[in-house]
Amino acid sequence: MGLFGWLFGQFIDVIEWKDNTQDTIVWRYPRGDSEIKYGAKLTVRESQIAVFVDKGEIADVLTPGIYELETDNLPILTDLKHWDHGFESPFKAEVYFINTKRFSQKWGTKNPILLRDTEFDIVRLRAFGSYEFKVKEPKTFLREVVGTDGHFTVDEIDTQLTNLILAKLPIILAEHEKSVLDMARDYEKFGNFLKEQLQPEFDKYGLELDKLLVENISLPQEVEDAIDKRTSREVTGDLNENLKYQTAEGISKGGTASEMASIGAGMAMANEISKSFNSNTATPPEVPTAKPLYIVKNGKADGPHNLEVIKEMIDSGKLKENSYIWQEGLDGWVEASTLLGKLFNTTPPPVPNA
């Protein structure tokens, strides 16, 4: 290289950043030992900001546009270098390009958060989602976060911002004073609430928390299982009536003796459970008097029988409490004790002492 080629290489006359990455937030122009030529062209593209730093001190900040570097558009740098009457010689300064586009990242709790809940008393919660941020104050961001890093990427600040969210999350959740069921019902509103509460912390880094999404708030598996059981019970409705229906279906389809015995045991259990849920079911219904009754005999319907005949069957032991009967108006076969409970309780009380 000749002398003029060497001299030409020592002066920078074009400064720009063609970003071909998706994760770079700050990039420092590689000036090396070269000096910036007076009148050099600086190109700042959309979603970029150029910051001049002289001897570690932040000087001018230039927004998108094309500039010829002179004292007019570098007033702070001119003052720092004492160019009171202008300059025409090359100068040294660091040029940082800052990417102002939005960056999207994921966040999530590493360990469950212990909270007092209005619905479940004390619960352990996990939460997951995403957030979007961008640089709002370039000087603050360079001073508080980047420092002298010449190639600053999203990965270098992701952990820091996620920890910031997770550190504030338990406090914000406690102040929210709503059940996890209410929060899960409207993730969007809760995400906006979190964003408003966290923005002051992002301001300290010169960042704007553009969006915070809550994608899932989950309870421990055992609590979710308990909720599922409770929901299933409410969907099933009256357990006793449900088992009666299953019994009638089994008889009509010719169920085996063992199947009938299992259903009968289930109905007995259903009766007890039903009594515990509703005390009104503890009293059996009145004994029917008008409509004839049918009984199950040798796996087939037998009847009709009037009430007197039924009483004789009960007294002789031919009709048991768990025998199945039916009369017009019933949806299916039911145990005899369901309708004729009073006829089985005919044993007189003990004779009082004289």
CATH 3.30.479.30 fits 103-137+152-224, yes or no: yes
The tens digit of pLDDT for each residue in 165-178 reads 998 888 877 776 67
Determine the Cα–Cα distance for residues 28 and 68; give it in Å rounded to an integer.
19
Average pLDDT score over the chain: 80
Which residue did the predictor score with more confidence, 262 or 94?
Answer: 94
Highest mean pLDDT among 60-69, 77-86, 88-97, 217-226: 60-69
State the pLDDT confidence band at 7, using cuts at 50, 70 and 90: very low
Q: Residue 289: which pLDDT band, with cuts at 50, 70 and 90?
A: low
pLDDT confidence bin for 134, thresholds 50/70/90: very high
The answer to whether 150 touches 98, Cβ cutoff 8 Å, is no
Query: How far is Cα 41 from Cα 98, in angstroms, rounded to an integer?
Result: 18
Answer with the residue of higher pLDDT: 263 or 329. Answer: 329
What confidence category does residue 11 fall into, taking pLDDT thresholds of 50, 70 and 90?
confident
Please tell me the pTM assigned to this model: 0.60
Closest CA to 75 of 48, 96, 54: 54
Q: Terminal CA-to-CA distance of the chain, rounded, Å?
A: 137
Take residue 293 and report the two structure tokens written for it. 């009754």
Q: What pLDDT score was predicted for residue 168?
A: 85
Q: What is the pLDDT of residue 6?
A: 42
Residue 126 has pLDDT above 60, yes or no: yes
d(CA 319, CA 39): 112
CA atoms of 274 and 28, how far apart (whole Å): 75
Domain ranges of the chain: 3-99, 103-137+152-224, 237-344
% helix / strand / coil in the chain, to the nearest 5?
40, 30, 30
Q: pLDDT category, 254, cuts 50, 70, 90?
A: low
